[in-house]
A and B are shown apart, each in its own frame.
Chain A
């Protein structure tokens, strides 16, 4: 009986620990769906960037660089963008933001939002530069910036969802 309970606990713990990865995975999948909203699909906000930003601050131990790499690779493969583009951007975001996690923790939401705005525009610039310089694809600058702006606009929603998951399901974790 005791062994069974321990196994259940371990299983439950493992499931909970995969939640940050699962949310990022679902965000990547959602970015590939057809929204039927005029022009939204060509200006799709980077939901994965929002999720990676959140977990890099709140649970960096549960969302490592390997996770960022895998989610980015999956996004590249599914969305048909040049291979390595989202992989590199998400990896850079995970590495950069987690170094500033102490600064953000305990700060009001507005500070997180401002921080994300900086990250979103930096990611847009880096993506555009890599696409142009390494891959030879000169994407329309306006669309890349509007997409970053939309990412900033949807950030509160993603922050809220991830916050609920963190408080409700990961609260007991170290």
Chain B
């Protein structure tokens, strides 16, 4: 009797699952939604593991599209060769004039820095990597890049292309990482308008043209104004080109980013040594921040403590 009982129970359980599979899986799907909101660290790790595992498949599937794109680019370049040559000659003349000016300003800048005893921030380290996937559709804008923790990629690092800011590293696997683009609905980048120094926040909205929000009342913003990072919040250094103001009306100011998402093949991952409000969530970083707090308290430097506190708080889940 006993040997047949186990298969019988198994069969009953299977029947029960089949009967209630839909309800169970719907509940599980809602559970996932809640998990995504409640435990972002766990979900980030899961995403990192899955992206890592699937990276070779995505890379292989991207090859034909990449090859076709390169052929199309070659044909387009050949067709525009003459016009582009004339354009480049003009650009070259202009750049030579800029070079002379830059040399003069560089010398003047060095002289002024030595007079003021100015200490420049530590130099940023950067490396290039390939873009292997572009994901998200209408609900998210992100890229998959072929570099991960083994290449010393960390969460929060800035990702740049030749033209300007692309986004920031959001999840890190061993061999691959996800970059949240500045156009993503969750992206917020503190920026300034280069000429007027008006501060604002560049808010992604899952369209090709993010908006400027929190623009001070009465600020003068006009189409064509260059937008660069402000360096506030400590996540990105100031002065990284972001885009130009493309449209201004009573309610919305739109920015056309410099980065061209559809043509991104190689990006630069830049470590400016800034943890910012995102902070690094690994244990080492938390321990370092806790130690810094303790040291600041011991020294009793209240002003210093105020500077460290927000960074430590920002690292929380």
In this complex, how many residues of chain A approach chain B with their Cβ under 8 Å: the count is 53
Segment 33-56 of A: residues with Cβ below 8 Å from B: 33-44, 46
Q: In the bound complex, what is the Cα–Cα distance between A137 and B205 (angstroms)?
A: 10
Q: Given A41-B261, A140-B206, A140-B207, are A135 and B36 neighbors across the interface (CB < 8 Å)?
A: yes
Q: Majority SS of interface residues in chain B?
A: helix
Q: Which of chain B's residues have a CB closer than 8 A to the CB of A119?
A: none
B54 located at the interface, meaning its Cβ lies under 8 Å from any Cβ of chain A in the complex: yes
Assess A36 versus B21: contact at CB under 8 Å? Given A30-B61, A140-B138: no
Determine the chain B residues whose CB is within 8 A of the CB of A39 once the complex forms: 208, 262
CB of B30 within 8 A of CB of A79, answer no
Main secondary structure of the interface of A (DSSP, over half): helix
Residues on B with C-beta less than 8 A from A143 are 137-138, 206-207
Contact of A36 among B37, B68, B143, B170 (CB under 8 A): B68
Residues on B with beta carbons closer than 8 Å to the beta carbon of A79: 135-137, 140, 142
CA distance A142 to B262 in the complex (A): 20
Are A42 and B135 within 8 A (Cβ)? no
Q: Can you name the residue of chain B whose Cβ is closest to the Cβ of A64?
A: B21
Contact of B208 (CB < 8 Å), options: A30, A42, A139: A42
Beyond A79-B136, A81-B139, A87-B32, is A33–B21 a contact (Cβ under 8 Å)? no
**Interface presence of A166 (CB below 8 A):** no
Say how far A35's CB is from chain B's closest CB, in angstroms. Answer: 5
Which residue from chain B places its CB closest to the CB of A131 in the assembled complex?
B139
B61 and A137 form a contact (CB under 8 A): no
Instruction: Decide yes or no whether A101 CB sits under 8 A from chain B.
Output: no
Residues of A within 8 A of B102 (CB): none
Interface contact B62-A34, CB-CB below 8 Å? yes
Decide if B123 is an interface residue (CB 8 Å cutoff). Answer: no
Given contacts A40-B262, A43-B138, A77-B47, 7 further A-B contacts (CB under 8 A): A29-B54, A29-B61, A42-B183, A81-B139, A135-B36, A144-B138, A144-B139
Nearest 4 Cβ contacts at the A-B interface: A83-B36, A36-B69, A84-B33, A84-B32
Which residue numbers of B lie inside 8 Å of A, CB to CB? 21-22, 25-26, 28-33, 35-37, 43, 46-47, 50-51, 54, 57-58, 61-62, 65-66, 68-69, 72, 131-144, 170-171, 178, 180, 183, 185-186, 205-208, 261-264
